[in-house]
Amino acid sequence: MGNSQSKKYYQMNEQQFNEMKVFYKTLGYSDEHTELLCKSCFGADIDVVPNIAYSDTWRFSLRYRRDRVEEERAAGGIRGFFQGMAMAMNSKPKGLRRSSGMSGGMASVERCAPMEDMCAPVEACMPAPMPELQAEPPEPEFNTVETNAKPENESHSPLDRSQIFFSANVNTASWTYLRSRINRRRSVDSDLVRVEEIINSYSYKLDAPKDDSLFSVSTECCKCPWQSDSELMFLGFKGMKADRSIRRNLAMLVDVSGSMDDEWILVQMSMASIMAQLHEGDILSIIAYSDDTKTVVKKLHCGSRDDLVKAILAVDGIGGCTNGSKGLEDAYTYLSDNFREEDINRVFIFTDGDFNFGITSEGGLEKFIYKKRETGIYLSIVGYGENNFKDNKMEALARNGNGNYTFVSSPGDILDCLSEKLLSSMITIAKDVKISVEFNPAYVSKYRLIGYNARALTQQEFHDTEKAADGIGSEHNVVALIEFKRGKAEQKYQTRYVTVSSDNTSDEAAFIEVHYKSPEGKDLVMTRSITIDELNSAPKDNAETAALLAAFGLLVSDSKYSGDLNKGMLKELLESRLKQDGITEPAPYSHYAVIGKYVSE
């Protein structure tokens, strides 16, 4: 490719460059490896410029060296230079417009670097036949984020609808997106706020499973802050601790298309964070994809940190379109060739989700990945992008592929989601986890599941063993929060043939039923009763923390069920929680710090 020969580079603030060094050292890389990883990224050099602005998004646009023009001249003209740029940038020029008579290599250019970044003045470089470029005002920045927001779950009387059915959700993408926007004081797209992901991103103090159980179920209860006559039922599921020495059979699928060029530094840091945890006996494949796919390494036997660093540095940003489906085919093939049921067999996709070649639709990708889920290979998606990421496609892939999905916008996200919590998310101890909660109308007059809007199931789907759902990882927490009102339920919507009553002499307030599969694929069921006495005497600590996070999510998403919530009330809840936890100054990247920044705006 033309641009593979071009000298590309990123300019980085000196302080930011030093922070990148600290990042790699934190992961355990040696001075030599850190120097190599900080020197280049995906075939581009990193130049340290003391007076350049600090990029709080950690997004860097590729630049091209001025001396490349003279090299291209000597090699036979400037046209190849522009062809290389077209393939690399794959987007429209800022301040430049091509005339209708343009042809040849420039005909495919939709965006190139501003002329002052290219090199010498354009008049001195252009061969005679090249058409004139006309100046125009800079174009506005467009937001092409795609999401698939669902209506909020409604309140129900147990006599009209006695059961909630939903699938577990272990994604954290919504939380990391929200944290990034608030930390940088940017506006938030409410369609990208999934309250259950905010709640589930916190590490609660839950009891470990007993005996040979794959996971435990904890219940708590507290007052609902935003509805004075309601309470909150907290359900916490905690996975058992699995053997962490298990062999890892991984494939990294790296999007190196034109839409990702601003994200490549973060992608390289993400790859390095996962590779830092690989050890002797693990197997790794790396596949880069754009218009086509390129196998960077195939079934590399890990153990040598030198080999892993070389593999990272061998990835090249090649530009072009995004044939993600072909890359997925290759990744599943490599893992299948080396598959052992007892291993961690997982594909990691690093992308903005902009699939625009091959299978491109959300529905098509769902069908494709659903067929692959039966292979026993799991899926993790790491999403990137300021204004161009396709949340709907990444969430659909994770939901249908026994997978999980997180969003990365800074080194802090990487350390949090891909370093500290990686093993918990990689080792699945229960898969296709589906939850049902049934309320006794003698004691509960109304209820509403908070969040899980896209994870709601029908009764038929709940009992369908082929219906895909998320799993629970080693020592992983999965939490649900249900707002409810005590009292006898009334049947608001009468039916012709079925009439029910709230009379009941049982002391059972609710009944939980969990359908799931063991790692070997065996269908299992767990049940749990919650009595009135248990509700009355239940602990509150985890429930009150979850209530704070839910209140934050409801407020920032402008929920119609937010009741009396406002920033003042949220600030009071936060201060109360900090006091109870004995925290005077929350950690900068923590949930409490992010909520504090939100209420202070």
Per-residue confidence (pLDDT) for residue 297, from 0 to 100: 94
**Beta-carbon count within 10 A of 160 CB:** 17
Chain centroid, CA 445 distance in Å: 37
108: three-class secondary structure by DSSP: helix
Task: Tell me which residue has tokens 């071009």.
Answer: 6
Count of other CB atoms within 10 angstroms of residue 205: 12
What's the rounded mean pLDDT across residues 512-531?
92
**pLDDT 10s digits, 12-50:** 999 999 999 999 999 999 999 999 999 999 999 999 998
* Residues linked to residue 419 through DSSP beta bridges, in sequence order: none
List of long-range contacts for 132-137, beta carbons under 8 Å, 24+ apart: 132/99, 133/96, 133/97, 133/98, 133/99, 134/96, 134/97, 134/99, 135/95, 135/96, 135/97, 136/95, 136/96, 136/97, 137/95
Q: Ramachandran region of residue 76, left (φ > 0), alpha (ψ -120 to 50) or beta?
A: left
Model confidence pLDDT, tens digit, residues 395-427: 777 777 677 888 999 999 999 888 877 777 788
pLDDT band at 363 (very low <50, low <70, confident <90, very high): low
Residue 534 CB: number of other CB atoms within 10 A?
16
Q: Which amino acid is at 526?
A: M
CB neighbours of 546 closer than 8 A, spacing ≥ 6?
A: 199, 202, 204, 232, 234, 479, 481
Residue 364 binned pLDDT confidence (cut-offs 50, 70, 90): low
At 66, is the pLDDT very low, low, confident or very high (cuts 50, 70, 90)?
Answer: low
The overall average pLDDT reported for the chain is 81
Least confident of 154-168, 347-361, 514-528: 347-361
Residue 149 pLDDT: 67
**CATH number for the domain whose boundaries are 163-167+196-240+429-600:** 2.60.40.1230
Predicted local confidence at residue 322, as pLDDT: 63
Crossing angle of helices 591-600 and 541-556, in 10° steps, is: 40
Residue with tokens 């091509």: 98
Strands 428-439 and 508-517, bridge-based pairing: antiparallel
Q: pLDDT tens, 313-322?
A: 999 987 777 6
Q: Where exactly are the structural domains of the chain?
A: 2-89+93-135, 163-167+196-240+429-600, 248-426
* 3-state helix/strand/coil string of 384-451: CCCCCCEHHHHHHHHHHCCEEEEECCCHHHHHHHHHHCHHHHHCEEEEEEEEEEEECCCCEEEEEECC
Q: Which pLDDT band holds residue 110 (cuts at 50, 70, 90)?
A: very low
Query: What DSSP character marks residue 125?
Result: H
Q: What is the pLDDT of residue 104?
A: 35
Q: What is the 3-state secondary structure (H, E, C) of 188-253?
A: CCHHHCCHHHHHHCCCCCCCCCCCCCCEEEEEEEEECCCCCCCEEEEEEEEECCCCCCCCEEEEEE
112-116, 207-211, 442-446, 461-465 — which is least confidently predicted? 112-116
**Which pLDDT value is given to residue 87?**
38
Q: Which of 314-318, 347-351, 355-359, 592-596 has the lowest mean pLDDT?
A: 355-359
Q: Is the pLDDT of residue 481 over 70?
A: yes
Task: Count Cβ atoms within 10 A of the Cβ of residue 471 and give its class: 0-12 exposed, 13-18 middle, 19 or more buried.
Answer: buried
Range scoring the smallest mean pLDDT among 152-161, 291-300, 466-475 = 466-475
pLDDT tier, 69 (very low <50, low <70, confident <90, very high otherwise): very low
Residue 443 above 80 pLDDT?
yes
Superfamily of domain 248-426: von Willebrand factor, type A domain (3.40.50.410)
Average pLDDT over residues 147-159: 85
pLDDT at 355: 60
What pLDDT is attached to residue 323? 67
Q: How many CA atoms lie within 13 A of 354 on its CB side?
A: 23
Task: Tell whether the model's pLDDT for residue 202 goes beyond 60.
Answer: yes
The answer to whether residue 72 scores a pLDDT higher than 70 is: no
Judged against a pLDDT cut of 80, whether residue 108 lies above it is answered with no
- Report yes or no: 432 and 514 within 8 Å, Cβ to Cβ: no
What's the CA dihedral at 370, 372, 375, 378 to 10 degrees?
A: -80
Per-residue pLDDT band at 142 (split at 50, 70, 90): very low
Residue 582 has pLDDT above 60, yes or no: yes
Classify residue 49 as left (phi > 0), alpha (psi -120 to 50) or beta: beta
Q: The tokens of 111 are what?
A: 């965006």
Q: Could you tell me the pLDDT band of residue 97, with boundaries at 50, 70 and 90?
A: very low
DSSP 286-311: EEEESSSEEEEEEEEEP--HHHHHHH
Q: Quick one: pLDDT at residue 425?
A: 76
**What pLDDT does 141 receive?**
42
Query: How does residue 1 score in pLDDT terms, banded at 50, 70 and 90?
Result: very low
Q: What letter does residue 9 receive in the DSSP assignment? A: E
pLDDT for residue 327:
81
182 pLDDT more than 60: yes
Confidence of residue 3 (pLDDT cuts 50, 70, 90): very low
Q: What single letter denotes the amino acid at residue 392?
A: N
Looking at the whole model, is its pTM more than 0.75? yes
pLDDT at position 354 is 66
Regarding predicted confidence, which is higher, 486 or 493? Answer: 486
Give the pLDDT confidence score for residue 146 in this predicted structure.
65
39 phi, psi to nearest 5 deg: -80, -35
Q: pLDDT band at 91, cuts 50/70/90?
A: very low
